[in-house]
Amino acid sequence: MTFKSDNTISVTEEKPARKLTNKEKIDAIANHFSSIMKILDLDLNDDSLKDTPRRVAKMYVEEIFEGLDDSKIPNIKKFENSFDYKGIILEKNISLFSLCEHHFVPIIGKAHIGYFANKKIVGLSKLNRIVNFFSKKPQVQEKLTVQIVDFLKKELETEDVACIIDAQHLCVSMRGIKDVNSWTTTAEYSGKFLESNFKNEFLQLIVGENK
C-alpha cells in the first residue's frame, strides 16, 4: 500500500507463491492493520495503541480465524454403539462465536445438535469442538449450520443429523438498523429429522429444558 501525492491510495498485492506461515501472516496483517489505523488518524505512538496491530493480527491468526487452518479440524474419536441406543442424542446450548463475513463483526449464539446413532457415537465434547472449528472463520449463519450437519453425517456415517443455531448478529445490532433485540434462527434437518414426529421431538427437547 502506498500513498500518492494526491492523497489517494495505491494497493498492489502479489499472490504468495506458497502458503504463509502463521508468523508471516501475523507480520503481514499487523503491517496492514497499522495502515488502516493511520488512515483513521489514530496515533500509533500512543502507549495504548502502539501494540494494537500485532495484537489484532495474532487474534486473527491464532484465535478467531483458526478455522481457516484445515490442520485444526477436530479429530473425532468414535465409539461403538454397543448398547444399541436408538433414541435422539442431543447436545444443546453449545456456545458459538463467529464473525460475519460481510462486515467482520461478531455473531454470538448457541447451537443445538441432535443425531440418531447408527453404529457409532461421539463424545459430547467433540460436538462442541465441531461447532467451534466451523465458527472460527468468516461465516454466514446459514452456511455454518449446513457445514456442521454435513460434517457429522460424514463422520457418523448416518443421514440422521439435525442442527439449530440461534444467534445475534452485531452487524444488525451495532450498525445499520441497530436492532439489539433481534435473533436469527437457522435449522438444517436430514434423515429421520425430516419426519415431523422426530423433528417435533427434537424441538421439544430443546425448548422444554430451556424454559
Domain CATH for 16: 1.10.286.10
Residues 6 or more apart whose Cβ sits within 8 Å of residue 33: 52, 53, 56, 57
Same-domain check for residues 29 and 50:
yes
CA–CA separation, 121 and 129 (whole Å): 15
Domain-located, residue 94: yes
Domain-located, residue 121: yes
Distance between alpha carbon 29 and the CA centroid of its chain, in Å?
A: 20
DSSP letter, residue 175: S
From 71, 70, 61, 2, select the one nearest 27 (Cα to Cα): 61
Q: Tell me how crowded residue 17 is: count the other CB atoms within 10 A of its CB.
A: 5
Task: Give, for all 211 residues of the chain, the pLDDT tens digit.
Answer: 555 555 555 555 666 678 899 999 999 999 999 999 999 999 999 999 999 999 999 999 999 999 999 999 999 999 999 999 999 999 999 999 999 999 999 999 999 999 999 889 999 999 999 999 999 999 999 999 999 999 999 999 999 999 999 999 999 999 999 999 999 999 999 999 999 999 999 999 999 755 4
pTM over 0.75: yes
CA distances from 184 to 140, 142, 152, 166 (A): 11, 10, 22, 6
Domain-located, residue 71: no
**Residues annotated catalytic, as ranges:** 100-103, 141, 169, 171
Residue 104 is predicted with a pLDDT of: 97
Same-domain check for residues 59 and 81:
no
SS3 2: strand
Domain-located, residue 72: no
Domain that holds residue 175: 77-210
Domain-located, residue 69: no
From 189, 165, 174, select the one nearest 109 (Cα to Cα): 165
Same-domain check for residues 84 and 10:
no
